[in-house]
Amino acid sequence: MIMASAGSFSYGGFHASDLDIPIDNKLLAMELHVKMENMRNDFTLKLVEIRDQMTVMQKRFNFSVWILILGVGAALSWVYRSSK
């Protein structure tokens, strides 16, 4: 990657613009870019963790609903049989 330098001078055919020295703004931009990528990666990991937790909770909820349905069915069956 070739970046512009802060100054412009030449000495014996060598130009400062040929140097790969980033100016302060470019350094700041690169640092921010790295921070943003790290934040995105952290956010993605958190989303995966939350998705996994939601999957486990959904399975537990589904199991609880089936237990409730079976319990209500058994109670209704018992009430029906005892009313005869």
- 34-59 as b/e: b if 16+ CB within 10 A: eeeeeeeeeeeeeeeeeeeeeeeeee
User: What are the pLDDT digits (tens) for 18-42?
Assistant: 555 667 888 888 999 999 999 999 9
Query: Is residue 69 assigned to a domain?
Result: yes
Query: Is residue 2 assigned to a domain?
Result: no
Query: Is residue 21 assigned to a domain?
Result: yes
Q: Report which of residues 75 and 20 the model is more confident about.
A: 75
Are the C-beta atoms of 24 and 7 separated by less than 8 Å?
Answer: no
Query: Is residue 40 assigned to a domain?
Result: yes
Query: Is residue 3 assigned to a domain?
Result: no
Query: Is residue 1 assigned to a domain?
Result: no
Q: Is the pTM value of this prediction over 0.75?
A: no
The count of domains in the chain is 1
List the domain range (segments joined by +) for residue 41.
10-82
- Average pLDDT over the chain, rounded to an integer: 81
Q: In this predicted structure, what is the pLDDT of residue 44?
A: 96
